[in-house]
A and B are shown apart, each in its own frame.
Chain A
Amino acid sequence: MRLEYFEMIDAVRHLDRAGGRIEALARVPEASPVFEGHFPGHPLVPGVLLTETMAQASGYLILAHLDFARMPFLTGVDKARFRSFVGPGAELVVSASLEHDGSGYAVTRAAIRHADKALCDAELRFRTMPFPDGLDTPMRARARAIGLLDAAGAAA
């Protein structure tokens, strides 16, 4: 995870494109300016960044499911629960499943586990739109860097 750059997902571990499910890894950095404020002397990953992590795993799942035809943008966070604390160095397992592939929107259920315990979960909603100019290439590059394209190819 590079928290300051909003690069939350490090690697895709498993992708079931047809079944609509993804599992990815995210390692919390040992140090980050985020921890200077949240909280001084007691570093914890903010819930909003855990939500973003679930949203990014969901987003990559949707991108793969739609074969990069459209870009998902987060529009809703429902039933979010943060069940435990997590700090620097933690290895997170992020999973998401496609609950509904609507016309112009998608809904996922996502969760993060740490040390085999539930850390957080939420239902997330996305609007899916044609890629804005210039976004397709960097999204594909990032997807390639985390192994999404390899996983998508293997699952195809």
Chain B
Amino acid sequence: MSDEPVTGSATFDRVADIIAETADIERDKITPESHAIDDLGIDSLAFLDIAFAVDKAFGIKLPLERWTQEVNEGKVPAEEYFVLKNLCARIDALVAEKAAKV
């Protein structure tokens, strides 16, 4: 999942814009390699605001509860969800999954 060349992708650009606006972070500091928590300092409450904006923008429902549980239980490293290129790949997958159901 992390091998996808998402730099400059439409999904990354939209997500980066959302993060910059929602969390008041300079857009230039947000890269596909950024870890939302460790690098950008986004706390859990701010991440909920970002999730709401992402859900609305992409018409999906980020499964934050499941992700958090998997990270807390050590089943999945946090990077899989919170490094932006990985987050964007998961958003793309959710969008594709939704489109396949229609």
Contact = CB atoms under 8 A, between A and B. Distances in A.
Q: Does more than half of chain B's interface fall in helix, strand or loop, or is it mixed? A: helix
A125 B68 CA distance: 19
A100 B9 CA distance: 27
A103 interface: yes
B52 A103 contact: no
Q: Does more than half of chain A's interface fall in helix, strand or loop, or is it mixed? A: strand
A22 interface: no
A102 B68 contact: no
A75 B62 contact: no
B55 interface: yes
Contacts of B55: 100, 102
A124 to B, nearest CB: 12
Contacts of A102: 48, 51-52, 55, 61-62, 64
B65 interface: yes
A125 B55 CA distance: 14
B10 interface: no
A86 to B, nearest CB: 30
B101 interface: no
A105 B64 CA distance: 9
Given A76-B45, A103-B63, A103-B64, 4 more contacts: A103-B51, A103-B62, A107-B52, A127-B45
Interface of B: 45, 48-49, 51-52, 55-56, 61-66, 68
